[in-house]
Amino acid sequence: MAAQLPEDHRLFELMAIRAVEGLPPADEAEFAEHAAAHPEIDTEAFERTAAALALVGVAVEPMPAGVRDRIEADAAAWFAERTATADRTPDLPAPGTVVAMPARSPRSTAWGGWVAAAAALVVAVVGWLQVEQLADDRAALAARQAALEVSVTRLEQDLDLREQVLAELVEPTPAELLAQLENRPETLALPWSATDDPAAADAGGRVIWNPAEQAGVMRFSGLQPNDPSAWQYQLWIFDAERDERFPVDGGVFDVAPDGETLVPIRAKLPVGEAVLFAITVEQAGGVVVSSRERIALVAQPGA
């Protein structure tokens, strides 16, 4: 009987799809029907091929020694039995006798063609899936790397911000601030000049001011110690860009009776161009506008 090629073609088509991506229930039922009609076909061959291709490049654990020994022993026994059987001389036709061999049926030829075609389809599809999976893996890896780079950048920015905030919170000591400012080229170093106020009779020292940093330190020696509950010293910075009637308040401070005193400048407003630094004697807590009745020390650029 001639081979029913459309039905045979459908069987191999279902075998290929089943091996690569699986079949839905309806197609699985159709596959079972075709497989039952052709028991001579190894319907699991394509699945084994797909599995073998999928395992290409996968690291395989070595076989346990006990299992390997059993397999080698079974193989040796099987080959020994085959050798003994081959030693028995089979009945052969007399010399010169022509033995007719059964001709290959068109059905087997058709099956062979469809098997080769379907096997090629399985190999192509599985290979394509592996290439697609590799591309997806590379894309996912690139996306993860980009996300990590963004995260690292954000962490670095957060770290810089935290260090900046920490630096602002941890204020340097007057001595540390003085050391930072003294060697900078834009820093002004002006000596104090005493007035006839009794608080400055033996006073000296200098003022350090950095306009770029808007920071500075005052150094005093011999300035009369004060009683903070009764009166305090206050710094005023006269700015060329402001009305001289309203100098910038540089903060109030005390002088202890233990020699040299370092006092950080705490300007309440930005100073454009400092043209005069003056120390006045004020009430405890300082004032908003000084009467300038008691000016103890002054320092002026170019003086």
Other beta carbons within 10 angstroms of residue 264's beta carbon come to 19
Same domain, 166 and 228: no
What are 167-195's pLDDT values in tens digits?
667 788 999 999 999 989 999 999 999 99
- For residues 232 and 183, membership in a common domain is answered with yes
- What's the domain count of the chain? 3
Q: Which residue has the tokens 């397999």?
A: 71
User: Are 200 and 232 part of one and the same domain?
Assistant: yes
Check whether residue 182 and residue 261 sit in a common domain.
yes
Residues 192 and 280 grouped into a single domain: yes
**12-19 contacts at long range (C-beta below 8 A, 24 or more positions apart):** 12/114, 12/115, 12/117, 12/118, 13/118, 15/43, 15/45, 15/46, 15/118, 16/46, 16/118, 16/121, 16/122, 16/125, 18/46, 18/47, 19/46, 19/47, 19/49, 19/50, 19/122
Co-location of 179 and 295 in the same domain: yes
Specify whether the CB–CB gap between 122 and 50 falls below 8 A. yes
Phi first, then psi: give them for residue 233, nearest 5 degrees: -90, 150
- Whether residues 190 and 221 fall in one domain: yes
Beta bridge partners of 235: 251, 279
Last residue of a domain, one of 108, 143, 170: 170
One domain, residues 187 and 138: no
Which DSSP category does 72 fall into? H
Share the mean pLDDT of the chain. 82
The parent domain of residue 202 ranges over 175-299
pTM value is 0.46
Displacement of CA 38 from its chain's centroid (Å): 59
Q: What is the percentage of the chain residues whose pLDDT exceeds 90?
A: 40
